Amino acid sequence: LVDARGRLMAALPAGGAMIAVRAPEAEVTAELPDGVCLAAVNGPDSVVLSGDARVVQAYAEKWPRPKKLRVSHAFHSHHMDGMLDAFADVVRNLTFSRPEIALPGDVEDPAYWVRQVREPVRFLDTLRTLRSRGIRTFAELGPDAALSAMGPQCVPDAVFVPALRPSGGATEPRDAVTALARLHVRGAAVDWAALLPGARPVDLPTTAFQRERYWLRDSGTGTAPVGSGLTPDGHPLLAGVVDLPDGGRVHTGSLSTASHPWLADHVVAGTPLVPGTALLDLALHAADRAGAGPVDELVLREPLVVPDGHAALLRVHITPPDAAGRRTLTIASRAGDADTDPWTTRAEGTLAAPGAGVPHE
């Protein structure tokens, strides 16, 4: 059936056009001109016209933003008439059986398949018929999610699950398993034993889930303003870095509970403080970006209180290397809404020379 259908269609003279327009079926078919056929009804306001190229193009321009489809022939139009008799001869010699999975339409009737070549594809009516029979979950088997995108316009209260998505490649196995999982939670009978031989269900904890999220939000990395002269730093707390004329470097950034909510969880004596490990991470990052050796020593001078309701500005200053290749490092901060406040040193330390090791105690 499939082979004969494709072979006979391909043998027809090329030409014609198919164009999708945003309009209801009744509006489009009210004054359908000669040479134009209704090829598909994909939604309440989505149809496809097919037929003679110039006439179809002119008629489709009655509606805004018509979209020409990339096809070899004008399918589901009079351009298919030349293969109908030959296709009917093939279909009459085939044996049809009742499908194991129920399908809409009289698919056991050979004449049905001949009509299907010529008549419109009624995607909208088919989905509404299935929905009237109680079906609310639809799985799309194909290379992308084109039908799943159109489905909600036809039956808004249904769920459409594509087996694959256009990204393709290495994500295809994951897409397929994700689709099975979505169908499973929708009540579909998934044969998990066929997919995961030897696997078995396990009981979940009996305590009801509270549906509260505890995952940390990804604050991303700081962003250096365009035209600021800063090079993007690539650290969550630091926006950019600038090289100084003397060979030193200054990293700058900011932090707050709005951009880094995890900071509010580190509380000492009732006061949220930036952890010392966060300052050490700043020192390690700055040392790596400068091509220096490891952090030889870091002394925490004064706690950095997490600002309440505003941001704190950060500055990590690295001096140029001395004769032995060692550098000193200073981490300072001040309130982001007070330009006149002095910078307060929070930590200072020493970076070893490149290639030097730091003994472990």
* 218 part of a folded domain: no
101 shares its domain with 148: no
Tens of pLDDT, residues 128-166: 999 999 999 999 998 888 899 999 999 999 999 999 887
For residue 22, report the phi and psi dihedrals to the nearest 5 degrees.
Answer: -95, 90
* 220 part of a folded domain: no
272 shares its domain with 307: yes
* 213 part of a folded domain: no
286 shares its domain with 328: yes
118 shares its domain with 143: no
* 296 part of a folded domain: yes
106 shares its domain with 160: no
Calculated CA dihedral for residues 135, 139, 140, 142, nearest 10 degrees: -150
CB 112 within 8 A of CB 34: no
With the C-alpha atoms ordered 282, 288, 291, 294, is the resulting torsion angle positive or negative? Answer: positive
Q: What percent of the chain has pLDDT over 70?
A: 91
75 shares its domain with 25: yes
CB 360 within 8 A of CB 298: no
76 shares its domain with 145: no
CA contacts within 13 A on the Cβ side of 274:
29
165 shares its domain with 265: no
Provide the CATH number for the domain around residue 50. Answer: 3.40.366.10
Provide the CATH number for the domain around residue 295. Answer: 3.10.129.110
* 21 part of a folded domain: yes
* 144 part of a folded domain: yes
Tens of pLDDT, residues 303-357: 988 877 778 899 999 999 999 999 999 999 988 766 778 899 999 999 999 877 6
What's the pTM value of the predicted model, to 2 decimals?
A: 0.56
* 358 part of a folded domain: no
11 shares its domain with 69: yes
pLDDT in tens, the chain (361 residues): 999 999 999 999 988 999 999 999 999 999 999 999 999 999 999 999 999 999 999 999 999 999 999 999 999 999 999 999 999 999 999 998 888 888 888 888 999 999 999 999 999 999 999 999 999 999 999 888 889 999 999 999 999 999 988 765 668 888 899 999 999 999 999 999 999 899 888 887 777 767 776 665 555 555 555 555 678 878 888 888 999 999 999 999 988 877 787 777 888 887 888 999 999 999 999 999 899 999 999 999 999 888 777 788 999 999 999 999 999 999 999 887 667 788 999 999 999 998 776 544 4
The domain containing residue 290 runs over which residues?
A: 231-351
What single-letter DSSP state applies at residue 154? H
* 298 part of a folded domain: yes
Count other Cβ atoms within 10 Å, centred on residue 151.
Answer: 23
Residue ending a domain, choose from 102, 125, 148 = 125
114 shares its domain with 141: no
Domain count within the chain:
3
110 shares its domain with 156: no
50 shares its domain with 156: no
